[in-house]
Amino acid sequence: MKPITEDLLSTYLAGRMPDWRDIGIANLHRLPMGASRETFRFDLAYTDDAGRHEDQMILRRDPPASNVDSDRSHEYNAYRAIHGHGIPVPRMILLETDPEPFGGAISLAEDLRGFHNSEYQIQQPEWRERLPRIAQGLWTAMGRLAGVPVEELELGFMKPATPEGTAMQELDYWEASLDASDVGPEPITRAAIRWMRRNPPPPAQKLAMVHGDFRAGNFLYDDAGEVIAVLDWEMAHLGDPLEDLAWSMSRVLSFGKDDRRSGVAPREEALRIWQAASGLEIDSAALRWWELMMCIKGQAIWNAGAAAWVKTDDPMVIHAYAAWWLRNAQDRAILELMGKL
């Protein structure tokens, strides 16, 4: 990939923002996050007619090969769509879809510093007492997102969906992803897909803006365990509000290696918080179907990472690691949900 340097950024911004003068870029470095996109942090200073500004920024760049079929424009628009609707998110600053300047499309956003986003940190004993507050913030934000009327959001950039069709639309999409990133036969995943087609869920009780990766590791929290912002909206889409809830129940993303979902709270506690915040019902059979659906999605993403690792000249360690670490655990989670473990 083309190196992103402070000079490159400064020159680009001078051309892109003609009202900005005396642009300064400092402390640019890549952050250890994201299997699908590169994330950089830097300090920005500039002068315009309002005076001198000093901002902290996040730059995200699309890679040549990813485990997720998304792009800068989609995530940028998703952030802008939900901003101001009761879900805390960083403010988007700039989108550059032309890959020429940086070797891939980029977006710039405000960098909310001084907070944490580690799914592993909260597993440490000193965080145990703060987990209930994190749980409250996590599933309340998720529930509020589920409850937002999609008619109030600018979601024209998203693939259309209907309450009746969203389940099979998602299953079709992720099965096609599995087919496209074939890294070997998947008897458990394929058996689950066949069962899901024979036993579809009821229509969604409403359409919602689904975050698509709502879990520990994808939100910022402060020292007290207060949730500050929800990140990583690149897989956001229209769908069933149970979908995000189901993803957050995932066994493979339960980083405490116990019954606490997302490594944060027991399943029933998480469901109680989500239900209170969303005002929606949780049909247990429908939720189980969506939990299986999230296993299919997960396996498709881990396999896509493995396939991306093989086909690129500059493979990312995380793509191989995630596949090694998660694929069998994902199969085991499917067996549990199907009552076969």
Partner 1 sequence: MKPGIAAVVANAAANLRDDIAPQLNGFRAGNASMIAAMLDIVAEEWDRAAGRLVAENADLRSVLVRGAALVAGPAESPDFGNGDLRISALERENERLRTQLIELQTAVETRDDAEAQALDQAIWDLLRRSVESRRIASANF
Residues 6 or more apart in contact with residue 15 via CB below 8 angstroms = none
254 touches partner 1 by CB under 8 A: yes
- Tell me which of 257, 267, 285, 310 binds partner 1, using CB under 8 A: 257
- Tell me which of 82, 236, 252, 271 binds partner 1, using CB under 8 A: 252
The 140-179 site mask, x for binding partner 1 (CB under 8 A), equals ----------------------------------------
Residue closer to partner 1, measured from CB, 157 or 321: 321
Nearest residue to 6 (alpha-carbon basis) of 30, 24, 31: 24
14 touches partner 1 by CB under 8 A: no
187 touches partner 1 by CB under 8 A: yes
224 touches partner 1 by CB under 8 A: no
DSSP code of residue 116 = B
Q: C-beta of 152: minimal distance to partner 1 in Å? A: 36
The helix/strand/coil state of 97 is coil
CA distances from 339 to 143, 171, 294, 328 (A): 28, 20, 16, 17
Q: C-beta of 46: minimal distance to partner 1 in Å? A: 25
Residue closer to partner 1, measured from CB, 35 or 280: 35
197 touches partner 1 by CB under 8 A: no
190 touches partner 1 by CB under 8 A: yes
Q: C-beta of 290: minimal distance to partner 1 in Å? A: 18
The 39-58 site mask, x for binding partner 1 (CB under 8 A), equals --------------------
1: tokens are 């990939």
Q: How would you label 40-70 residue by residue, b for 16+ Cβ within 10 Å and e otherwise? A: bebbbebeeeeeeeeeebbbbbbbebbbbbb
341 touches partner 1 by CB under 8 A: yes
- Amino acid code (one letter) for 69: D
192 touches partner 1 by CB under 8 A: no
285: tokens are 């059979």
Euclidean distance between CA atoms 199 and 91, whole angstroms: 41
Site size for partner 1 (CB under 8 A): 36
The 310-339 site mask, x for binding partner 1 (CB under 8 A), equals -------xx-xx--xxx-xx-xxx-xx---
Euclidean distance between CA atoms 95 and 30, whole angstroms: 19
Pairing of strands 51-61, 237-239: unpaired
Residues 6 or more apart in contact with residue 250 via CB below 8 angstroms = 215, 261, 262, 291, 294, 295, 298, 333
Q: C-beta of 296: minimal distance to partner 1 in Å? A: 15
- Amino acid code (one letter) for 141: A
In the complex, the residues that contact partner 1 under the rule CB under 8 A are 29-33, 184-188, 190-191, 194, 198, 251-255, 257, 317-318, 320-321, 324-326, 328-329, 331-333, 335-336, 340-341
